Structure 1
Amino acid sequence: MSTAGIERGHCALLFPGQGSQYVGMGKDLYNTFPKSAKLAFDEADEAFNNGLLKLIFDGQQDKLKLTENAQPAILATSIAILRVLEDEFGFDVAKACTYTLGHSLGEYTALVATKSLTLHDAIKLVRLRGEAMTRSVADKGVSTSMSALVVRGDHLVQLEDAMDEIRASLPEGELVELANINSSFQVVISGTSKGVDHASRVLQSKKFAARAVDVPVSAPFHTSMMKEAADVMAEAFKNVQFREPVVDIVSNVTAKPYDNVSEIPLLLVQQTTATVEWQRSIKYCKDHDISDFLCFGPGKVLANLLKKEYPLDHIRSITSADDIKSQATDFRTIIAAASGTEPVRG
């Protein structure tokens, strides 16, 4: 997608996916920044048909982690953080960043951040997405699971090849697929419980994976079992207007920026069933000389992955009002560099 003629800062802006949610996230932002964070949260709550703020700030963790609640909650919190920087510090995504990207759900947040999608539409879409994902397997009478694997050494490519063989060898009715490739040392597999368990044992026996940790989710995300949810999203996108992003967004599916606006809904549909190519998305940024990453949103999962993979890079995680205050000088420097002016001190 063309960004010719725009002078940009040389960094990437990252947004987290499901699993980063926790009760109370963003409440300090809501109370501290009434002209920015509060407005963003209130807009998200209205799009949710009310009740989202109560879930986020004072709800039960078991209810918040439900996919249809967690996804809009994380998106709202991530955008609230961004709005604070935009309104209070003059942060401009179009000038400050070269690329934006989000992990799974976070790709919708990136679309909001780059003015391609309204916050109102995004909240409705990810709530629908969460409901459809859960419903895709709810009545199928099959046990499903997801498991995170630690990849041994430099065996990521061998692990991917082995997964193809394992998948082909499973009996009818069983399934396992690569849901996320998060880094050179972490992947997530997803599918039927028996398929996931079998794949975990085979990959560990081949010494491609060191250990497996169950991921507590309601459905086998990013597999062909999510086809029904993909169909639901394809229908929903017919009534949504996407605009050209002000900054290139790196797609989870292709691990490169969208080519044009019409490609956005098509790739979002594919994203529902396809592997999240996060490691290759980050590598795309690295191949284009990015070594400065801003991680906006609850939790520090994305920042921690990056710090382990690229320990010499400049990686900042912004999750709270305290993070914003403590890194205020950094933000002023970024803004000044993007605008060609001296940073304001103090």
Structure 2
Amino acid sequence: MRAFIFPGQGSQKVGMGADLAVASAAAREVFEEVDEALSQTLSTIMREGPEADLTLTENAQPAIMANAIATLRVLEQEFGVSLADKGDCVAGHSLGEYTALCAVGAFSLADTARLLKLRGQAMQAAVPVGVGAMAALLGADIEKATALAAAAAQSEVCEVANDNDPTQVVISGHRGAIERAIELAKEHGIKRGIMLPVSAPFHCSLMQPAADAMAAAFEDTPPQSFTLPVYANVTAAQVTDADAERDLLVQQVTGRVRWRESVEAMATAGVTHFVELGGKVVGPMVGRIAKDAAVTSAITMEDLEALAKEIG
């Protein structure tokens, strides 16, 4: 069995998608459609920067999605590889879940871009800049990270945001609590904590205003039926029902990204090959979780050509 997986925020970089757009009309069409949907030249920011603009949450989220969908379209149109034929399920890390849903037809490309733009704006607006923070805990498993978060909270919010793999967990909450967690990390048997360069404390209860905004957005743009099952971040379980997925996307804004458990669930279900499209971020995480699985990450035309030959 094969899973197609999609990266989340942090995988953006200036120049992303530029070579693919030069090489393929299918990729150019994706970037043009996203530009039109957002009424902005996001593709120019992706290609030329400045990096500060690309890193803005409201730009980074649709940009990462657009790059991954462009990669998928090239695979499908240039190399004749159908996701529905060659995949058994899909998953994505945080915003990557929206990319996965776009890939299997739950949202149109234009709607996905608009939803992610709104999601980025709402997440940024939920907490004033400087009030929240996130930190990566290196050498931490979920038990150690949970205990540390509880110890550091001290009446503030400090919660596990991302359970990425057996060696890395991300926490999120009030800046003071996150700073305390970094100071206490070694006492909890954790190698170290590193403050992340993010503009808001994603995937914690401070994001409730953004969750409310997404719930309202889905009133007008609900997910439709999709062609392959999606493994949802907040349950680490397979979803096939569009209404259920809609509720899970709202919960995802404040909920933990259970990536390690999602990969374990896919592996338990029989997935032996994970294909990351549009990045080389979640693939390495998979390698640390499902050590016997084959992992392929595809970004360039050369990557896609090799992948097409591999999966035929």
Question: Residue type matched to 1:98 in 2?
Answer: D
Q: Indicate the residue corresponding to 2:88 in structure 1.
A: 98
175-184 or 307-316, larger mean C-alpha shift: 307-316
Offset at 1:234?
Answer: 0.6
Q: Distance in 1 between matches of 2:250 and 2:55?
A: 23
Q: Deviations over 1:215-238 (max 9, x none)?
A: 111100001111111111111110
Moved over 4 A (4+): none
The answer to whether 1:74 aligns with 2:60 is no
Q: Indicate the residue corresponding to 2:179 in structure 1.
A: 197
Q: Distance in 1 between matches of 2:152 and 2:29?
A: 49
Q: Indicate the residue corresponding to 2:34 in structure 1.
A: 44
Question: Residue type matched to 1:189 in 2?
Answer: I
Q: Deviations over 1:265-290 (max 9, x none)?
A: 21111100011011111111011121
Q: Indicate the residue corresponding to 2:285 in structure 1.
A: 305
TM-score normalised by structure 2 residue count: 0.95
Question: Residue type matched to 2:207 in 1?
Answer: M
The answer to whether 1:30 aligns with 2:16 is no
The answer to whether 1:178 aligns with 2:166 is no
Q: Indicate the residue corresponding to 1:7 in structure 2.
A: none
Q: Indicate the residue corresponding to 1:314 in structure 2.
A: 294
* Residue of 108, 119, 136 corresponding to 1:148: 136
Question: Residue type matched to 1:250 in 2?
Answer: Y
Q: Indicate the residue corresponding to 1:338 in structure 2.
A: none
- Alignment partner of 1:131: what SS? helix
* Residue of 12, 15, 24 corresponding to 1:21: 12
Q: Distance in 1 between matches of 2:180 and 2:147?
A: 16
- Alignment partner of 1:226: what SS? helix
Question: Residue type matched to 2:241 in 1?
Answer: N
The equivalences for 1:157-168 within 5 A come to 157-167=143-153
Name the larger-Rg structure.
1
Contact 1:89 1:331 in 2 (8 A): no
Identity across matched positions, percent: 37
Gaps of at least 5 residues in structure 2 are none
Offset at 1:301?
Answer: 1.5
Question: Residue type matched to 2:162 in 1?
Answer: N
Distance 1:309 1:280, change over 3 A: closer
Contact 1:181 1:188 in 2 (8 A): yes
Q: Indicate the residue corresponding to 1:230 in structure 2.
A: 211
Q: Indicate the residue corresponding to 2:264 in structure 1.
A: 283
319-328 or 158-167, larger mean C-alpha shift: 158-167
Q: Indicate the residue corresponding to 1:6 in structure 2.
A: none
Q: Deviations over 1:64-115 (max 9, x none)?
A: 0000000000000000000011111221222211110000000000000001
- Alignment partner of 1:191: what SS? strand
- Alignment partner of 1:289: what SS? coil
Question: Residue type matched to 1:131 in 2?
Answer: Q
Distance 1:287 1:145, change over 3 A: same
Offset at 1:308?
Answer: 2.8
Distance 1:98 1:164, change over 3 A: farther
Question: Could you say what the CA RMSD is over the residues aligned between the two structures, in angstroms?
Answer: 1.5
- Alignment partner of 2:117: what SS? helix
Q: Distance in 1 between matches of 2:128 and 2:179?
A: 20
Q: Indicate the residue corresponding to 1:114 in structure 2.
A: 104
Q: Distance in 2 between matches of 1:95 and 1:192?
A: 45
Q: Indicate the residue corresponding to 1:335 in structure 2.
A: none
Question: Residue type matched to 1:13 in 2?
Answer: F
Gaps of at least 5 residues in structure 1 are 1-9, 333-346
Q: Deviations over 1:313-334 (max 9, x none)?
A: 21000012231234341142xx
Q: Distance in 1 between matches of 2:174 and 2:244?
A: 31
Contact 2:146 2:159 in 1 (8 A): no
Contact 1:178 1:187 in 2 (8 A): yes
Contact 1:45 1:52 in 2 (8 A): yes
Q: Distance in 1 between matches of 2:257 and 2:225?
A: 22
The equivalences for 1:222-261 within 5 A come to 222-261=203-242
Offset at 1:121?
Answer: 0.3
